[in-house]
Amino acid sequence: MVAGRKLKILSYFLSVMAFGLAIFVVLIPAQVHRLSAADEPEPQLWAVVVGVKEYQCPLCIFDQEWNMYPVGLKHPDDNARDLAAELSPVSGEDHVKLVLNEQATNSGIYHAIKWLAEKAGSKDTALFYFCGHSAPQNFGSYDYLVSDRQMAEWLDAIHSQNVVIILDTCYAGSFQNALGKNGRAMLMSCQSSESSLEDRELEHTVFTYYILQALNNFDSADVNGDYQLSAEEIFDYANPRTSDEIVQPFANEMAYSNMQHPTLYIPPDKYGEINLITKAVLSSDAKSAFEGTALTVDGKSYMSKQLPVSLTWLSGTSHRFDVPLQIDLEDGTRLVFTSWNDGNNSASRTTSIGGQYTANYGTQYKLTVQSEYGNPRGSGWYNSGSSASVSVNTTCGNIIRHTFEGWTGDYTGQKASAAITMDKSKTIKANWHNDYLMLYLLIAAIISVVIGGITVAVMIVRRNTQRGSVD
């Protein structure tokens, strides 16, 4: 029996352990997943931007030709500076490495790409931009040539989910076969046998000029209106404008076919997925009603007069919007947050989706019910246009009788219960007739009792006095 009892206890213990283990297996991984999802870092943008307008390569036969007018370039470094300036507000200044002229040696470019590979995580976007001279399948670094195979090998060290390469250089299309691997997207300023030109009046190379314009003209470049600017949309904006700037003036020339035709390569599995920038336009329908902070975005406050505000962020990142729950105005009027235009009813929200966000407010008016008696009811705040129910007891008091006579102020009427339309702040007063008859009768009774008591007391005193005299 003892052995049987021990066996039962052991069986019970094992059953409890098995049940606990089942809970652990089912619940703990889910909890860990929730924690890891919450703690997962936001995607970031890292960029290396290279611009070379001067060359010093004793071993290169291109040196003299590339540095002399009209072949010599004036603006690749300007392109690079301006592109870095456009990217920095989105990525953060420390996320963009600018490599210019004498810095853009073979070694300088290699170490810049190495930095990019080390910084950009798997969920990040890595961008490499090059502007300068090139020979077919060879980039013109400051001190030598970098072959497309060598450049591809350096870029292979980047393991980000999105790698975008922008080339504004002659023979840009000749780099596609080597660089367009491992999921990399490429925006190229010309085809493999063409030159890439700069416009001295624009003070930029033409292709980069329109890429910069696409980043500045978000609404025009965002052709599908999803508040996301993708690599394809940037290219689709720059491509025809580059052609119009360069090709059209030479449309009747024999050299038309060799002028400059930008080209795009997106890996088949990434079409429509390489979104770079998100735009949000934030406003409030209360902005004209008051002066003060109407919106806070990621801790930065915006006054009502600053709205609407247009902000751009790296795609996929989350941002918090906060608006006041209540805005007090003058004369018993206030605005109360109701919802955002997309139906979200939280005054504090976080989103990673671009779009138009307007905070909607409803107007409320204060009703003040004044009454000395009768337990007045109905004071408070009411939505504009709503009906407020007010009431008082018609009579009250025992000794002094108070009888309701009617309302005055912003509403007049003789009924003790009334419905008032709230189209502004209002104050109403209950008026009373005071009946003092019971008080007077009580006072008279008290006086009678007092007089009677005094009379009796006097009579008793006189009687006692007379008895004392006789004695």
pLDDT of 247 higher than 90: no
The Cα 294–Cα 283 span in angstroms is 9
Domain that holds residue 303: 278-322+337-361
Which pair of structure tokens corresponds to residue 98? 């600018």
**Statement to judge: residues 119 and 242 lie in one domain:** yes
**Statement to judge: residues 60 and 140 lie in one domain:** yes
**Pairwise pLDDT comparison (179 vs 196), residue with the higher score:** 179
For residue 8, being part of any structural domain is answered with: no
Helix (H) or strand (E) holding 76: helix 76-91
Q: Are 140 and 169 in contact (CB under 8 A)?
A: yes
For residue 33, being part of any structural domain is answered with: no
CATH number where 53 lies: 3.40.50.1460
List all residues 6 or more positions away from 51 whose beta carbon is below 8 Å from its beta carbon. Answer: 76, 77, 78, 79, 80, 81, 98, 99, 100, 101, 104, 131, 132
**Statement to judge: residues 393 and 447 lie in one domain:** yes
The Cα 192–Cα 175 span in angstroms is 8
How high is the pLDDT of residue 468? 63
- Which tens digit of pLDDT belongs to each residue from 279-305? 999 999 998 888 899 999 999 999 999
How high is the pLDDT of residue 270? 87
- Which tens digit of pLDDT belongs to each residue from 365-388? 999 999 999 999 999 999 999 999
Q: What is the mean pLDDT of the chain?
A: 86
- Which tens digit of pLDDT belongs to each residue from 450-469? 888 888 888 888 777 776 66
Closest CA to 210 of 182, 231, 240: 240
**Statement to judge: residues 198 and 282 lie in one domain:** no
E strands present in 65-176: 96-100, 125-131, 134-135, 138-140, 145-147, 162-168
Beta pairing partners, 297: 300, 321
**Statement to judge: residues 66 and 203 lie in one domain:** yes
- Which tens digit of pLDDT belongs to each residue from 74-131? 789 999 999 999 999 999 999 999 999 999 999 999 999 999 999 999 999 999 999 9
For residue 12, being part of any structural domain is answered with: no
Residue 155, CA distances (Å) to 46, 131, 226 in order: 13, 17, 31
- Which tens digit of pLDDT belongs to each residue from 202-242? 889 999 999 999 999 999 999 999 999 999 999 999 999 99
How high is the pLDDT of residue 233? 97
**Statement to judge: residues 318 and 417 lie in one domain:** no
Q: How many domains does the chain have?
A: 3
The Cα 84–Cα 78 span in angstroms is 10
**Statement to judge: residues 312 and 408 lie in one domain:** no
